[in-house]
Amino acid sequence: NAGVMQNPRHLVRRRGQEARLRCSPMKGHSHVYWYRQLPEEGLKFMVYLQKENIIDESGMPKERFSAEFPKEGPSILRIQQVVRGDSAAYFCASSPASGSIDTQYFGPGTRLTVL
Amino acid sequence: SQKIEQNSEALNIQEGKTATLTCNYTNYSPAYLQWYRQDPGRGPVFLLLIRENEKEKRKERLKVTFDTTLKQSLFHITASQPADSATYLCALGDTGRRALTFGSGTRLQVQP
């Protein structure tokens, strides 16, 4: 059973470009979460999605950031017009649909560097 | 605002000893608490989950306690090994909101 997959593992963008980060959840998982980790800091929640629905985007910056989890295919975190402050590790996690308590399983992360 | 504190200084111990890591929180009443391990350049790996009505949970050499009065969780690794060297993160959650709130982690270094 493959774990959570993220690609690319490393992404370099120049200021003003767009970054697209992909996440495929574990098989059988229908909940996806995105977290951001700045150097020497803990993970900060960004957004929680189920198939075709954004459930909680309270941690997402209001501008330039968007996320989707289509019926088919991976979840996408999109950052438009990237700035240097967007440089961070972005982690995706997934969990099964059942239960009210969530054990979240994390992917290896995408390390975004903005030049 | 919610605050989670983990010892930001690295914890250095000798192989074979018990490592004890602390997670304190304020302005929060979590329904459960989780501990994760994170190695450099990798994603967090789930270790243990403890619910608010549980005092203690064990898994092999790992033990977690959860004191909702003190607002504190302790994470113990007995008979520590150099392979246990990593950063350990605590994360709090509640049943009303699935997002986890993470501490900044404590780096453990086990010396052979």
CA dihedral for A89, B34, B64, B32, sign (positive or negative) = positive
Least confident of A12-26, A69-83, A93-107: A93-107
Encode burial over B33-50: b for 16+ CB neighbours within 10 A, e otherwise. Answer: bbbbbbeeeebbeebbbb
Q: Is the pLDDT of residue B34 over 80?
A: yes
Mean pLDDT calculated for residue range A86-105: 85
Mean pLDDT calculated for residue range A74-100: 91
pLDDT band at A42 (very low <50, low <70, confident <90, very high): confident
User: How far apart are the C-alpha atoms of B61 and B22, rounded to whole Å?
Assistant: 17
Q: Is A59 part of the contact surface with chain B (CB cutoff 8 Å)?
A: yes
pLDDT band at B84 (very low <50, low <70, confident <90, very high): very high
B60: left (phi over 0), alpha (psi -120 to 50) or beta: left
Looking at chain A, list the stretches that DSSP marks H as alpha helix, in order from N- to C-terminal side: none
| Structure token digits, residue A98 | 């059942």
Q: Is the pLDDT of residue A1 over 80?
A: no
Question: Is B82 in a helix, a strand, or coil?
Answer: helix
CB distance A44–B98 less than 8 Å? no
Q: Is the pLDDT of residue A2 over 80?
A: no
CB distance B36–A106 less than 8 Å? yes
Q: What percent of chain A has pLDDT over 90?
A: 77
Find, among A109, A112, A113, the residue nearest to A7 by Cα.
A109
User: How far apart are the C-alpha atoms of A1 and A26, rounded to whole Å?
Assistant: 8
Q: Which residues pair with B95 in a beta bridge?
A: none
Residue-level pLDDT at A103: 83
Q: How far apart are the first and last CA of chain A?
A: 37
On chain A, the residues whose CB falls within 8 A of the CB of B99 are 33, 45, 48, 56, 58-59
Q: Is B42 part of the contact surface with chain A (CB cutoff 8 Å)?
A: yes
Find, among A2, A79, A80, A101, the residue nearest to A34 by Cα.
A79
Name the closest residue on chain A to residue B4, using Cα atoms. A42
Mean pLDDT calculated for residue range A33-39: 93
Question: Is A16 in a helix, a strand, or coil?
Answer: coil
Mutate to test the interface with B, among A24, A101, A112, A113 (most CBs of B within 10 A): A101
Q: Is the pLDDT of residue A100 over 70?
A: no
In the predicted model, what is the mean pLDDT of chain A?
92
User: How far apart are the C-alpha atoms of A49 and A75, rounded to whole Å?
Assistant: 9
Residue-level pLDDT at A56: 93
Task: Please indicate whether residue A40 or residue B91 has the higher confidence score (pLDDT).
Answer: B91
pLDDT single digits (tens) B42-68 = 999 999 999 999 999 999 999 999 999
Q: Is the pLDDT of residue B91 over 70?
A: yes
| Structure token digits, residue B76 | 């113990």
Phi, psi of A96 (to 5 degrees): -75, 170
Least confident of A18-32, A42-56, A90-104: A90-104
